[in-house]
Amino acid sequence: MNTIEITVLGPEAALRAFAETWQCVEQGGDVVPRLAFGSIRDLFSAITEKRLELLRYVASHEGLNVRRLADGLGRDYKNVHTDVSELLELGLLVRGDDGRLTAPFDEIVIHAGIRDAA
C-alpha cells in the first residue's frame, strides 16, 4: 500500500524529522513520504473535508480531467479547480501530460499530537 504521512510539527521537530529522513536516505533506507504542517489550523486549511472527498473520488475514478471531476462530484468547476491546484501543489494529486488526474497514494495517515513534546 502506498502511504503518505501528514504531521503537525513545530520548527524544532520539523528539523529533527528532516535530519532523520536525510540520514535514512543516506543509509539507503526506505522513507515513507511525509507532508508536515506547522499547526492544526494550517493542516485543516490545506486538507479540508471537500478536498479529502475529492481525493477519494479521484482514487476510485482515475483519469478524469477537472471538468469531469467537478461533474462527478456535483460541485462548481471553479471550486474544484482551486482544490485540485492546491492538492497538486501538496503532491496529493498528480496530473499527467494529458491533463488527467491520479491519486498517487492509497492511504493518508494524519498525526496531530495534542501536547507539545517534552
Name residue, grid cell 491520479: 102
pLDDT tens digits for 75-90?
A: 999 999 999 999 999 9
CA distance 85 to 94: 10
What is the average pLDDT across 79-108?
A: 95
Rg of the Cα atoms in the chain? 16
Considering only 25-39, 63-77, 81-95, 100-114, which range has the smallest mean pLDDT?
25-39
Domain topology for 3-111: Arc Repressor Mutant, subunit A (1.10.10)
Please tell me the predicted confidence (pLDDT) of residue 118: 43
pLDDT tens digits for 14-45?
A: 778 778 878 877 888 777 788 889 888 999 99
Please tell me the predicted confidence (pLDDT) of residue 116: 60
User: Cβ contacts of residue 51 below 8 Å, gap of 6+?
Assistant: 83, 86, 87
Name residue, grid cell 482515475: 62
Name residue, grid cell 477519494: 56
Please tell me the predicted confidence (pLDDT) of residue 1: 76
Please report, for the chain, the start and end positions of each structural domain, with discontinuous segments joined by +. Answer: 3-111
